Amino acid sequence: MMRSTRLLGRASSHVHIPAARLPRLLMSSLGASPLYRPHITRQFRSINIASVACTNSKREGDISDSFASMAGVEEKPLPDRYRELKLSLVEGNEAAIKHGWQRLLAELRNENDILAAQGPAAVPDIQFDSLSEDISKHRETLLKRGVAVIRGVIPEAEARAYKESIEAYAAKNPSTRGFPPENRQVFELYWSAAQLRARSHPNLARVQRELMTTLWHAAPEAEVDLGQPMTYADRLRIRQPGDARFALGPHQDGGSVERWEPKGYGCGHVYDEVFAGQWEDYDAWDAGKRALAIIDMHQGLGACSVFRAFQGWLSISHVAPLEGTLLVYPLAKLSTAYTLLRPFFEPLNTSLAPNSAEFLDASNWTFTSRDNMASTLQGATPGHGQEFPTAKDGTPLHPHLELARAMVHVPAVKPGDFVVWHCDTIHAVDKVHNGTGDSSVLYIPVCPMTEENARYLVTQRDCVLSGVPSPDFPGGKGESEHVDRPDPVVTLTGYGEAALQSMGLGKLVTSSTAPGAAAITAKANKILGF
């Protein structure tokens, strides 16, 4: 009797596939000559797709469910355990944190002035035709800013055709969910032909490898492979002129309360230096620590559970500032340190104007005493992204970031340009699309291979075969009954072994000499069934 194994993944997804059959067929496909691969791919499809059952038990939803402000979640105090958690995080380091806070506020004020003066020019511009040279040349700026535009990754005509293909696919399938439901701007589509092709394009894979291996690092023994991109299937946006509903304010993805949780980011000791009062020593680019973090403890709708080194999108239209595009606060290290420390400080004089120098001055802020410590983590809601809102009285909850003046638009882009930002970067979208053409992008992050990512990849692999949304996202039948949904195996096989490997459909082979990369490659292959 053939053994059927439940593939490891998130608890919300139930996946059953014959464990012995999938790897053998896939490896035969990879090892065969190109002449015979189509036949073997068809054989894989006919034998295995019927045996794949991937169900996402989360309720149906859309992108608004990812954010408390957009989902209409009632604001209420966090449980008292967060007060106790806050006390434990700073115990014994109070004096160092106070001094670190003063240094941080001075640095933020200086950097905010620079950003306000530079605007979109603060975002580094990289040419795909000189990718390695440009990344090396701008490396220090990229490490500081954590944001970049890479020009010409996909030929413009090809990228433009992606949008036309998606529009035709959505038109044939009017049941496709989106936000807002009465006039869709962000579509619950994950497995269209255009998305599969874009994510698998060899140019994009090269960009992902270059960004990770040049900017991120890990200890030799750390179980992470920065040279092995993992495909993470996300949504797409086709935002129409005049839209004001998709007005997503400043936020960080990758969890919210998890950043303070010992069983969240604390698993990797990601932010230990910040909580020790030495935020200058915090390394925002240590992939080894990030690989161990648990970034989604509450399984929210759209809450990412994998390590994304960069978030990103591929433009499939012409988009300029104020035309429904992205804004960023390109100071990932400083903004993260401030976000983490903000819950431990409060203003002395609240009657001052919140954007005034007097209100923001370090002398107006005091470390909250143990007796007065509350459970508050400003902008953090379990199961949702970390937000940076303004209170009902008009006071920003994170005033020293001065987001109203210091956030900058990404420069104008055209179809085929790829925009990336560090996973901790605060970002937002234009409140109103004031352009004359649509603002359209495919969300495509940059993910290395880690154990948690490999476990996610197992489930995602079977979701693509079944046509249902990936496990991080709202559930339902998704595209399982959509007209013209492409065969993913055939589509990815056309892009070669690297494309299959990135989707967990081919055995991984590392190019790194680090023992940790070799270890995670072996572990990931076992998890994937190879």
**What would the pLDDT profile of 429-478 be if each residue is shown by its tens digit?**
999 999 999 999 999 999 999 999 999 999 999 999 999 999 999 889 99
Cβ atoms within 10 Å, residue 278: 17
H helix intervals, 138-192? 139-145, 156-172
- List pLDDT tens digits, range 333-364: 999 999 999 999 999 999 999 999 999 999 99
Would you state the pLDDT for residue 231? 98
Cα distances (Å, whole numbers) of residue 404 to 285, 293, 386, 390: 27, 31, 17, 10
Please report the sign of the dihedral spanned by the C-alpha atoms of residue 153, residue 158, residue 164, residue 170.
Answer: negative
Least trusted range by pLDDT, from 22-26, 232-236, 300-304? 22-26
pLDDT above 60: residue 52:
no
Q: What is the DSSP letter of 493?
A: H
Mean pLDDT of 225-253: 96
- List pLDDT tens digits, range 75-113: 889 999 999 999 999 999 999 999 999 999 999 999 999
Give 37 or 269, the one with higher predicted confidence: 269
Judged by DSSP in three states, 120 sits in helix
CA dist., res. 514 & res. 225, Å (int)? 9
CA dist., res. 414 & res. 402, Å (int)? 29
User: pLDDT category, 299, cuts 50, 70, 90?
Assistant: confident
Give the type of residue at 444: I
CA dist., res. 342 & res. 331, Å (int)? 16
Cβ proximity of 250 and 387 under 8 Å: yes
- List pLDDT tens digits, range 391-402: 888 889 999 999
User: pLDDT category, 7, cuts 50, 70, 90?
Assistant: very low
pLDDT above 60: residue 187:
yes
Would you state the pLDDT for residue 251? 96
Q: Which neighbouring-strand residues pair with 17?
A: 5
Chain CA centroid to CA 82, Å: 25
pLDDT above 90: residue 509:
yes
User: pLDDT category, 233, cuts 50, 70, 90?
Assistant: very high
Would you state the pLDDT for residue 14? 33
Mean pLDDT of 36-42: 36
User: pLDDT category, 20, cuts 50, 70, 90?
Assistant: very low
pLDDT above 50: residue 229:
yes
Cβ proximity of 231 and 503 under 8 Å: yes
User: pLDDT category, 55, cuts 50, 70, 90?
Assistant: low
pLDDT above 60: residue 259:
yes
Mean pLDDT of 105-129: 98
Mean pLDDT of 116-139: 98
Would you state the pLDDT for residue 64? 77
Structural domains of the chain sorted by starting position, each given as residue range(s) with its CATH number in brackets? 4-528 (2.60.120.330)
Cα distances (Å, whole numbers) of residue 226 to 286, 308, 519: 11, 11, 13
Give 52 or 423, the one with higher predicted confidence: 423
Least trusted range by pLDDT, from 8-12, 266-270, 271-275, 441-445? 8-12
Would you state the pLDDT for residue 69? 76
Average pLDDT, the chain: 89
Would you state the pLDDT for residue 54? 57
Mean pLDDT of 280-293: 98
Least trusted range by pLDDT, from 9-13, 135-139, 251-255, 320-324? 9-13
Helices (H) and strands (E) in the chain, counts: 19, 20
CA dist., res. 404 & res. 209, Å (int)? 34
Least trusted range by pLDDT, from 234-243, 294-303, 366-375, 502-511? 294-303
Q: What is the DSSP letter of 469?
A: P
CA dist., res. 506 & res. 528, Å (int)? 9
